[in-house]
């Protein structure tokens, strides 16, 4: 029998905004309901869609609201006691590696070890250009970034010379509480699955609904992990769901499917509308709190 699936929820900024009292009210409600973690996403910049008539409006624009995730989780560390925080995902190659390592370590310390760092390579070329980073080498560069971060978290002083980094016997302070931070990956390309197998503690899998394609993707990642000499069961898998379609019986059956497939984390994101994900009808803070309560009540005994 699998261990209990960890249940999380996403902050619905697009519906309720990001005022501190609103954010705190939603997160405290989730914590009181017994949710295990809260997710936050990352975009530093958004494009002006008015100047790009061909822009895919299913993608983010400057109209979308994002708090900086490290600031957000630092704030929430002070107003919560138990709920965990998961960054899903940081576009790592847009940021300075040592700075990310430092920011993540500080959130880990301030939250008492409640932080998971999700990383990805991103898709928005305009954002990379505006931040002065190379869009075209972002995947390979992120691999070296992960190696540097893991050493900075584990060692008091680091000397490292790679293709993109020259670390001259320096270190961050504070270090994470356990001298490491759980590192999860978002994305679905073959190269991402191989990075998960080599470096990752988990995979945030958003591309597939319940079904054969999801199982095949899980099996592929696990095969890469075994080939890399790792226990595939040591790598977590997270999916997102919502209450937008069906009812409690449907949500229960979906949760049972994911549990049987070896999923370790389910995040309720009732405001996502991309790919197969659907957003719920309600838009208010009370709608969203009610929504996560209804989902928890429906699935609590099958997780």
Could you tell me which residues are beta bridge partners of residue 116? 86
H-helix or E-strand spanning residue 237: strand 236-241
H runs (alpha helix) in 33-166: 69-77, 97-110, 125-130, 138-154
Question: What pLDDT, on the 0 to 100 scale, is given for residue 59?
Answer: 84
CB atoms closer than 10 angstroms to residue 46: 17
Its sign, for the CA torsion 149, 154, 155, 160, is negative
Residue 112 to residue 174: CA distance in whole angstroms: 13
Question: What pLDDT, on the 0 to 100 scale, is given for residue 1?
Answer: 39
Question: What pLDDT, on the 0 to 100 scale, is given for residue 264?
Answer: 98
Closest CA to 67 of 77, 56, 75, 59: 75
> In the chain, which residues have pLDDT < 70?
1-2
Question: What pLDDT, on the 0 to 100 scale, is given for residue 2?
Answer: 59
Contact 66, 124 (CB under 8 A): no
- Please name each of the domains of the chain with its CATH number: 6-299 (3.20.20.30)
Could you tell me which residues are beta bridge partners of residue 186? 204
Question: What pLDDT, on the 0 to 100 scale, is given for residue 60?
Answer: 86
pTM of the model: 0.95
Q: Which tens digit of pLDDT belongs to each residue from 14-55?
A: 999 999 999 999 999 999 999 999 999 999 999 999 999 888
């Amino acid at each position: 029998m699998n261990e209990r699936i960890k249940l999380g929820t996403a902050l619905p900024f697009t519906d309720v905004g990001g005022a501190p009292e609103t954010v705190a009210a939603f997160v405290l409600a989730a914590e009181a309901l017994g949710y295990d973690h809260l997710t936050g996403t990352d975009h530093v910049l958004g494009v002006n869609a008015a100047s790009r008539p061909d822009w895919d409006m299913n993608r983010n624009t400057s109209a979308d609201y994002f708090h900086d995730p490290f600031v957000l989780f630092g704030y929430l560390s002070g107003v919560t006691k138990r709920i965990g925080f998961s960054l899903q995902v940081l576009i790592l190659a847009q940021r300075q590696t040592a700075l990310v390592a430092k920011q993540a370590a500080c959130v880990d310390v301030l939250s008492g070890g409640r932080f998971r760092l999700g990383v990805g390579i991103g898709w928005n070329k305009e954002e990379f250009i505006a931040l002065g980073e190379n869009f075209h080498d972002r995947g390979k560069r992120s691999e070296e970034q992960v190696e540097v971060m893991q050493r900075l978290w584990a060692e008091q002083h680091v000397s490292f010379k790679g293709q993109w980094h020259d670390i001259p016997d320096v270190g961050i302070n504070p270090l994470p509480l356990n001298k490491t931070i759980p590192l999860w990956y978002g994305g679905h390309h073959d190269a991402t699955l191989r990075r998960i197998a080599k470096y990752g503690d988990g995979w945030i899998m958003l591309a597939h609904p319940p079904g054969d394609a999801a199982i095949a993707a899980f099996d592929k990642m696990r095969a890469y992990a075994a080939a890399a000499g790792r226990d595939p069961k040591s790598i977590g898998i997270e999916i997102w769901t919502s209450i937008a379609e069906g009812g409690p019986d449907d949500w229960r059956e979906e949760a049972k499917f994911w549990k049987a497939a070896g999923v370790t984390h389910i995040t309720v994101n009732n405001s996502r509308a991309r790919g197969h994900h659907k957003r719920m009808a309600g838009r208010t803070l009370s709608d969203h709190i009610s929504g996560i309560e209804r989902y928890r009540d429906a699935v609590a005994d099958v997780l």
